[in-house]
Amino acid sequence: MNSLELRHPESDLLLQFMDGELPQHQARQVRRHVEACWQCRAELDELQKLVAGCVRYREDRAEAVPPPPQTWTDLSREFNRLDDSPAAASLFRRTAFRWVLLGAGAASLVAATLALRVIDFRIGTQPAKPQEMRPAARTSQPASPASTIARPDGVLPSVPGRASAPVKAAAPPAGVAEELRAVAALHRLGADLGEPVEVARNGKYIVVGGAGVAPELQRQIRDALLSEPNVLLRFSESAAGPAAQPPQARDAAPLKSAAPAVPNPLEAQVGGRAQLEKLSTLLLDHDEAAMTRVYALRRLAEQFPPEAERQLSPEDQRLLKDMGRQHWDALAREAMAIDSLTSPLLAPLVAPPGAIRLATSWQAAAQNLFGSARQVEALLPAWLGVTVTDRDRPAPDDLPRQLSTALAQLQLDVQQCERLLKP
C-alpha cells in the first residue's frame, strides 16, 4: 500500500477520478482508498451532487434560450454542392496538402489558408437576397454625382427641385466594349483573381455581381464602376447579417497527420522530411499563384473570344490584351519558379513532351495553357507525396517522368501564349 492509498485524495484528484481522467495506476489507488474510506465516499457523493446541479443548470438553460430562428438547413444538399464544385474539390485538396504538410505546429498558416477559402463553403440560412444597385444610369438629365447611385430598390434618389419619380434608363443595349470596361475595372481592383465576382451582359445592362463578396470589395467595385453607364450591381448576401462575414478558421489546428506509410524517395534527395515539407509548401504556393492566373486568363479568353474581340476598337483590343499579358506575366514568373525548384530533382526529358498544340489565337492558347497547368497541378502533389488519399500508396514509378513532361508542356504553352498576346 502506498501513500495515496493511505491519505485522503485531494478534491481535484477525486474529480479527475470521477471523470476517468487519472492514469490507470493512480485511478486504481484512489479506487482502493475510496472503497475503504467513508469520508471520501461522502466527498465523492457531494461532488456527484454538484455535477448533477451543473447538468440541471444546462437543461434549464436549454429550455430558456431561444430556439434557432430558422429551420435547420438540409446539409446533404450543401454536401452535394461541395462535391459537385470543381473549385471546391480543388480547394479541399489543396487545403489538405497544407494540413498534411504543416501539422499542428504551423496552425496559423493553415488557418490563413482556410480563412481565404472558407468563403466558398459558406451557406445561407435563407435564400440569397440579391441587392441591386445601378452605379450610373444614363438618364435624360445629367444627374448630380451624389445621385448617380440608385438605391437598393433600384429607384434613383430624388434630386431637389425635380420630380421624385424613378428615372427610366434610356440606354442602348450593352455591348462588348462596355463589358470589357467593367471587366477592366474589376481587373484594376484585383477582383478578377479568385473572387466570386461575375460580369455578364443582360439586355441593355452589364450585370456585375456575385455571392459572398466581402462588403469592402463590394464598395470598391461600386466606386470603380460609378462612371460606367448601364452597369447593374447584384450582390447576394446571407440574410443572417453580420454573421455573413466569412468566418476565420482558428479551428484549423487539426491533429498532426501521421507520417506516410511509404517513405517518399524525394525525402532522401532533398535532405530529409523537413526539407521536403519546406519544398512542398513553396511549390504548392507557386502552383496556387499560377493557377489563379491561369483561371483568370481562361476566364478572360472565354468572355472575349476572337469574334468578340474583333468587335472592339483598336484601343479596347489593346486594353484586353494588356489584361491578358498581365495575367501571363505573373503566371510565367510562377511557372519559372516551379521549374527552377523541380528541375534539379527531375531527370531531364529525353523526348519532347508530345504533339505540339498549335493555337491560332491567344484565347485558344489560354485554353491549352489551362490544360497543361491542370496537369501539373494534379501531378505535383502526387510527386511530393502530399496527396492525402494516396499518401499510403507508392507513387507510380514513372511519376517524375510524367511531371517532367507536364512541366515541359506547360513551358511550351506559356511561350505560345506570350507570342499570341503580343500587341
> Using CA atoms, how far apart are residues 288 and 189, in angstroms rounded to an integer?
20
Looking at residues 55 to 114 of the shown chain, list those that interact with another protein (rule: CB under 8 A): 55-58, 60-66, 68-70, 72-73, 75-76, 78-80, 82-83, 92-93, 95-96, 99
Contact 108, 250 (CB under 8 A): no
Q: How far is the CB of 335 from another protein (least distance, A)?
A: 20
Calculate the alpha carbon distances from 185 to 178, 224, 293 in Å.
11, 6, 17
Give least dist CB 324 to another protein, A.
27
**Minimum gap (Å) between residue 298 Cβ and another protein:** 19
Residue from 232, 249, 290, 338 in contact with another protein (CB under 8 A): 249
Output 64-73 pairs: Cβ under 8 A, ≥24 positions apart.
69/125, 70/125, 70/126, 73/123, 73/125
- Of 36, 50, 155, 356, the one binding another protein by CB under 8 A: 50
Task: Out of 6, 7, 11, 158, name the contact with another protein by CB under 8 A.
Answer: 11
Question: CB 100 → another protein: shortest distance, Å?
Answer: 9
Q: Is 255 in the site for another protein (CB under 8 A)?
A: yes
Binding to another protein, residues 121-150 (CB under 8 A):
121-125
Q: Does 248 bind another protein (CB under 8 A)?
A: yes
- Cβ neighbours of 323 (radius 10 Å): 22
Among 5, 8, 15, 27, contact with another protein (rule: CB under 8 A):
15
Shorter beta-carbon distance to another protein: residue 148 or 280: 280
275 binds another protein (CB under 8 A): no
Q: 373 CB contacts (<8 Å, ≥6 apart)?
A: 290, 291, 294, 331, 410, 413
249 within 8 A of 114, measured Cβ to Cβ: yes
In this structure, are residues 30 and 2 in contact, taking their beta carbons and an 8 Å threshold?
no
Site for another protein in 310-369 (CB under 8 A): none
CB of 401 to another protein, least distance (A): 12
Least separation in angstroms between CB 393 and another protein: 11
388 binds another protein (CB under 8 A): yes
CA dihedral defined by 142, 145, 147, 150, rounded to 10 degrees?
A: 100
Q: Is residue 375 a contact point for another protein (CB under 8 A)?
A: yes
In the chain, how many H helices and how many E strands?
15, 4
C-alpha cell at 241: 447579417
- Determine which residue in the list 27, 47, 106, 177 makes contact with another protein, applying CB under 8 A: 47
Query: Per-residue b/e over 17-46, b at no fewer than 16 CB within 10 Å?
Result: beeeebeeeeeebbeebbeebeebeebbee
Q: Are 98 and 110 in contact (CB under 8 A)?
A: yes
Query: Cα separation of 64 and 55, whole Å?
Result: 14
24 binds another protein per the rule CB under 8 A: no
> In the bound complex, what is the minimum distance in angstroms from residue 54's beta carbon to another protein?
6
Q: Which stretch binds another protein (CB under 8 A): 44-52, 181-189, 289-297, 303-311?
A: 44-52
- CA-based torsion, 160, 165, 171, 175: positive or negative: positive
Number of residues that bind another protein (CB under 8 A): 73
Q: Which of 29, 230, 238, 372 binds another protein (CB under 8 A)?
A: 238
Shortest spacing between CB 160 and another protein, in angstroms? 34
Nearer to another protein, 96 or 191 (CB): 96
Q: Which is nearer to another protein, 95 or 220 (CB)?
A: 95
Cα separation, 190 vs 179, in Å, equals: 16
Nearer to another protein, 174 or 252 (CB): 252
